[in-house]
Amino acid sequence: MFFADSYQHFFRPLTGKYREQVVECLRLLYERLYTAKADYGESLTREQILETFAEALTRAPQLDSDGGAEPEGRFRNLREQSVWVLNILVEFGWLEKLVDSATLTVSYPFSRRGRLLTQPMVELNSTRVRTRHRNTRNTLNALEAFASRGEVYDLIDAWEYSERIVADFTDMIAELEERKRELVREVEAQILIQQATDEFFSFMESRFQPDLAIRLSADSVEKHRDSITRVITLIRRKDNAKKAEWERRLRQQLPELHVETQSILWLMLDTIEDRMRRACEVKLPALRHALHGFTKRAEIIIRQLSYLQSTSEGAFTDLCKDLGESPQRDQLLSALGDQLSAFQLRLFDPRQAVLWQRNRRQPVNTLVEDDVPMTDDGQREVVLQQLLDQAFNFNSSDLRNYLATALGRGQRVNSRDLPLRDARDLLAMSHALEAAAVSQDGSGPFVQVTFTGEKASNDYFAEFDEYSLELKGEQKEE
């Protein structure tokens, strides 16, 4: 259990109006003990810890009371409050009180739980650059070392590094979303354009360039994915005796992963491949989308603030001020209303506003396939399709020939008397009215079409309008 023995109320120091000050004390003490500021030759004494706490209490603000038991103005000075913070951290398990039996000196190191839970608080506000983007390369290097030397610890390191790849992507996406919300909150709080711009460019310089840019370019998981897959394939092709020895040593080192009829070696290699696939196909596109959303939101906000700031003292403001002070304000507004009476405001339909996204190009299959001979059924289908296409193919030349045959030696023919010898004649009859347009080319005789006003029918049409087709002489140019 986590909340057991002295840890039953482990998080009580982080409640109440002094919670921010206690967190700052933990951060500063952690830096004095475990970072570059630490002096590993000696442990901090009680007085040194109280001085550290006094410095932290001066930095951190005192928050509003949440109804706790601490009254206002409880401590007379910083030393008294530092002693109180030290006592509650020891009481609730964040620090331990150790007494040297030889020198009778007292030291206050972090407990294991206190150190592990204080580390995220320190890293949350840390300004130093963390090389989290190297986990992909570390995975590749550890796998190559395992393939060359056969040390199972290298494989375990690669397995752990691959787990951090996905976790780092998740943390970065969450950080971008938080930065976007903070930027919106700053604008809502009416922060000046210069401050909002400084926050954006500060993030781009301190986080994007040293970490995100490398993650998306030099250390891109897409860049190293093929190399990692190649090394894993090489490991799987090793001699069976070596793989059996690796499996035995892995079961000794990781007994919690041992399951009957399942290889730990194969499980770790498959897991690394699956994590790389998820990082490339899921997390990396999500990170690019989050970065695009953050920069787009920042661009929109900064552009809007710049416009508002540039127009806040412009001619439009002066004109509105003069109009408000003018004694003829009502007459001017009435005249303006008459001029705008015909004005129509039309808004875009939100459903028609679609944000287009760039589609990924579909891969082209360049594989050369063998020529498969066509079957008899396939050939029959091709011939039938060609015959059907030719049966309904009708052009102007066919209309001319049909019309010439229908007129014979005469000059006039009625549409009800047009010959119907076969299916093509039936199609020509249905297009007979086009004969007039086809023959109107100005180079010879033409056909004049006249509507008789009557209806006719035959074996194929229940009813159709009756026309008179008459062949005329040469068309004269006007």
pLDDT tens-digit map of 195-223: 666 666 666 666 555 556 655 654 567 77
Amino acid found at 301:
I
Span of 72-81, 147-156, 352-361 with lowest mean pLDDT: 352-361
Q: Give the pLDDT confidence score for residue 131 in this predicted structure.
A: 46
Least confident of 154-163, 321-330, 396-405: 396-405
Q: Chain-wide mean pLDDT for the chain?
A: 76
* C-alpha distances in Å from residue 336, one per residue of 332, 346, 361, 460: 6, 20, 54, 70
Asked if residue 120 has pLDDT above 70, the reply is yes
Across the range 39-52, mean pLDDT stands at 75
Mean pLDDT (whole number) for 176-193: 66
The pLDDT value recorded for residue 312 is: 54
Q: Which residues contact 75 (CB under 8 A, 6 or more apart)?
A: 81, 84
* CA quadruple 193, 199, 201, 202: dihedral sign: positive
H-helix segments, 416-478? 423-430, 434-439
The pLDDT, as a whole number, for residue 146 is 92
User: Does 286 score more than 80 pLDDT?
Assistant: yes
pLDDT at 15: 85
For residue 132, give the H/E element and its range.
none
- Under the banding of pLDDT at 50, 70 and 90, the label for residue 225 is confident
Sequence-ordered alpha helix ranges (H) in 125-151: 135-149
CA–CA separation, 386 vs 384, rounded Å?
A: 5
- Largest Cα–Cα distance in the chain? 139
Residue 360's pLDDT band (cuts 50, 70, 90): low
Q: Where are the beta strands (DSSP E) in 243-360?
A: none
Helix axes 152-188, 264-278, angle to 10 degrees: 30
Residue where the block lists tokens 């630490």: 38
Question: Which of 286-300, 415-429, 439-453 has the least mean pLDDT?
Answer: 439-453
Q: Which two tokens stand for residue 290?
A: 């989050």
Phi, psi angle pair for 235, to nearest 5°: -65, -40
Give residue 296's pLDDT band: very low, low, confident or very high (50, 70, 90).
confident
Helix, strand, or coil here: 448? strand
Instruction: Considering only CA atoms, give the Rg of the chain.
Output: 43
pLDDT tier for residue 339 given thresholds of 50, 70 and 90: confident
Check residue 135 and give its pLDDT: 82
- 111 vs 428, which has greater pLDDT? 111
**Per-residue model confidence (pLDDT) at position 208:** 59
Q: Interior CA angle at 341 toward 340 and 343, to 5°? A: 65
pLDDT in tens, 23-32: 989 888 888 8
| Nearest alpha carbon to residue 50 among 117, 106, 118, 111 | 106
DSSP 281: I
Neighbours of 401 (CB within 10 A): 11
pLDDT at 165: 82
Between residues 409 and 253, the one the model is more confident about? 253
The pLDDT-based confidence of 299 (bands split at 50, 70, 90) is confident
Instruction: Tell me the three state secondary structure of residue 333.
Output: helix
| Residue 161 near residue 142 (C-beta atoms within 8 A) | yes
Amino acid identity of residue 35, one-letter, is: T
Phi and psi at residue 102, in whole multiples of 5°?
A: -85, -50
Place 231 in a pLDDT band, splitting at 50, 70 and 90.
very high
Q: Which residue has the higher pLDDT, 388 or 13?
A: 13
Q: Are 108 and 86 in contact (CB under 8 A)?
A: yes
The whole-model pTM stands at: 0.46
**What is the signed CA dihedral for 116, 119, 120, 123, rounded to 10 degrees?**
-160
Of residues 220, 332, 346, 237, the one with CA closest to residue 283: 220
CA proximity to 306, closest of 163, 223, 147, 193: 193
Helix ranges (DSSP H) in 237-283:
240-253, 264-278
DSSP secondary structure, 319-387, as one string? HHHHHHH-TTHHHHHHHHHHHTTT-------GGG-----PPPPPPP--PPPPPPPPPHHHHHHHHHHHH
What pLDDT is attached to residue 444? 59
Tokens of 146: 């395992």
